């Protein structure tokens, strides 16, 4: 049986935690230096690896890697851009799924033939599909809207090639896609650093509040 933690134990653990998250911010600064030195692909690859690792830690005990990555990225983007829905990404995602989803993709394709396309908020996307599908279908589709977000584009077209391949593009542009009437911004390291910082901050906050790593020591420590 382990003894109760003393005030000295707690202080020491908090010290380790602060050092860990301070070092995480030093890694972010290193990414920026790499990019300035012309190593944009390496900087972006490391950034995506860090985002992937933190998103899994912050989503524990969820085991769906893609969902964890996308939803955590959406919720930690201060600008809200990564949480927007791109109709073409949603169509492609549904088309790759089994069961009724390819048929639903065809219905969405009729509604959003594009190009051009417009990025939509989650509420706008939910309202749009309510005119096309039954109530039960809408409920199922809303649960899967994360697959059509800009963050899902990051996952499929930046994270996956970087983690499983030899690196992807250092920038992704949305041709013929608008956001509130203006051309949609592109995706790059600059887009991803703010949510990376936000994830580190949340990890620190959860850890110090509970005095357990990321809010629960089981997340990173082996089961006893």
* pLDDT at residue 2 greater than cutoff 80: no
Q: In b/e form, how buried is each residue of 14-47, taking b as 16+ CB within 10 angstroms?
A: eeebeeebeebeeeeeebeebbeeeebbbbbbbb
Compute the average pLDDT of residues 25-51: 96
The model's confidence at residue 163, banded by pLDDT at 50, 70 and 90, is confident
| Structure confidence by residue, pLDDT tens digits, 102-114 | 999 999 999 999 8
Indicate whether 164 pLDDT > 90.
no
Does the pLDDT of residue 126 top 60, yes or no? yes
Tokens 């989650």 identify what position?
Answer: 122
Q: If pLDDT is split at 50, 70 and 90, which confidence band does 168 have?
A: confident
Average confidence (pLDDT) over 207-222:
93
90 has pLDDT over 70: yes
Q: Please give the structure tokens belonging to residue 17.
A: 């935690």
Preceding omega of 116 cis (within 30 degrees of 0): yes
Q: What are phi and psi of 183, to 5 degrees?
A: -55, 135
Range with the lowest mean pLDDT among 37-41, 45-49, 146-150, 166-170?
Answer: 166-170
Q: Can you tell me the distance from the alpha carbon of 31 to that of 68, in angstroms, rounded to the nearest whole number?
A: 23
State the chain's mean pLDDT as an integer.
94
User: Would you say residue 11 has pLDDT above 90?
Assistant: yes
pLDDT of residue 79: 96
> Mean pLDDT over residues 139-159, rounded?
97
pLDDT of residue 1: 44
pLDDT of residue 131: 84
Q: Are 27 and 50 in contact (CB under 8 A)?
A: yes
User: pLDDT value at position 81?
Assistant: 98
Model pLDDT, residue 222? 67
Judged on CB neighbours under 10 Å (0-12, 13-18, 19+), 74 is buried
């Amino acid at each position: 049986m382990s003894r109760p933690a003393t005030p000295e134990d707690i202080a020491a653990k908090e010290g380790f935690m602060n050092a860990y998250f301070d070092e995480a911010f030093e890694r972010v600064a290193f990414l920026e230096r790499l990019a300035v030195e012309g190593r944009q692909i390496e900087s972006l690859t490391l950034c995506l690896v860090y985002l992937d690792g933190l998103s899994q830690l912050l989503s524990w005990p969820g085991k769906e890697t893609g969902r964890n990555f996308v939803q955590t990225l959406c919720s930690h983007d201060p600008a809200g851009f990564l949480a927007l829905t791109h109709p073409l990404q949603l169509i492609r995602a549904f088309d790759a799924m089994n069961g009724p989803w390819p048929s639903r993709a065809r219905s969405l394709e009729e509604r959003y033939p594009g190009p051009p396309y417009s990025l939509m908020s989650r509420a706008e996307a939910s309202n749009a599909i309510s005119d096309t599908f039954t109530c039960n279908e809408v409920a199922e589709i809303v649960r899967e809207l994360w697959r059509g977000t800009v963050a899902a584009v990051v996952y499929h077209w930046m994270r996956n090639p970087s983690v499983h391949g030899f690196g992807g593009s250092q920038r992704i542009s949305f041709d013929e896609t608008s956001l509130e009437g203006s051309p949609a911004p592109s995706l790059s390291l600059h887009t991803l650093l703010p949510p990376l910082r936000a994830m580190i901050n949340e990890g620190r906050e959860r850890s110090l509040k509970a005095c357990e790593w990321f809010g629960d020591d089981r997340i990173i420590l082996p089961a006893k």
